Amino acid sequence: MYPEILELNRPFPPPHKALAEPNGLLAIGADLSPQRLISAYQSGIFPWFSDDQPVLWWSPDPRIGLALKSHHISKSMRKLIRKTQLTVSLNMAFEQVIQLCSATRANETWINQDMIAAYSKLHKLGHAHSVEVWQGQHLVGGLYGVAVGQVFCGESMFHLVSNASKLAFHLFCLHFKNCGGVFIDGQVENPHLLSLGMQPLPRQEFLALLQQAKDAPVSANCWQVQRLKPCDYL
């Protein structure tokens, strides 16, 4: 079997047609326009490719993610959140976050300039969002991803000081849950995501959850530029 070749105006094939090896490869081609990306995320599909490749579209099985009703913060992390001098914000520096996610992954080329430009457009349209961690005026950690109703599809995170990305993740989980969010999608399993409490789940279960949540609203202030203060959630 081979992945489907996408023409610009051709819709995605259903995710269950993705290859088993490499796990989740579904289609090749098309572009990174906002319309194509929005369609992808609403269908449980995401792009992931290197500079020397065409656009590759994926929907792996299993998926990895976190149901926010099961979100747990350890005692040590709660203590860190309450006492840290770092501050956390939402949507204050999206382009800086995605640039640093790319720069701190020197051996991984998938956050290339085309991806940066595409997700920056999504951010301006209100679909992609960032969480920032600050040490004074310096950006030292963060994450970004795409909102699909009550699901947030995480794309990447970075840290320049210890625990900055964990701080961003846990405070964002508390904020998103408080706003009506139900699930954080981590896409592909890795040890760091497992350490944050994410669990693998069958693709079919993820797609069913996404279908229910993709058009469901979150609170009006969920994505407004703001500080995320621990005292508001803990």
Q: What pLDDT score was predicted for residue 143?
A: 98
What is the value of pTM for the model shown? 0.96
Residue for token digits 């964002």?
A: 172
Q: How far is CA 10 from CA 4, 19, 27, in A?
A: 10, 19, 11
- Identify the bridge partners of residue 46 per DSSP, sorted by sequence position: 58
Domains and CATH numbers, the chain: 4-62 (3.30.70.3550), 64-232 (3.40.630.70)
Question: Quick check: 107 pLDDT over 80?
Answer: no
Residue for token digits 């699909």?
A: 148
| pLDDT tens-digit readout, 112-124 | 999 999 999 999 9
Higher per-residue confidence, 52 vs 71: 71
| pLDDT tens-digit readout, 72-101 | 999 999 999 999 999 999 999 999 999 999
- Identify the bridge partners of residue 65 per DSSP, sorted by sequence position: 185, 199
- Identify the bridge partners of residue 139 per DSSP, sorted by sequence position: 134
Question: Quick check: 125 pLDDT over 80?
Answer: yes
Contact 218, 150 (CB under 8 A): yes
> Whole-angstrom Cα distance, residue 47 to residue 172?
23
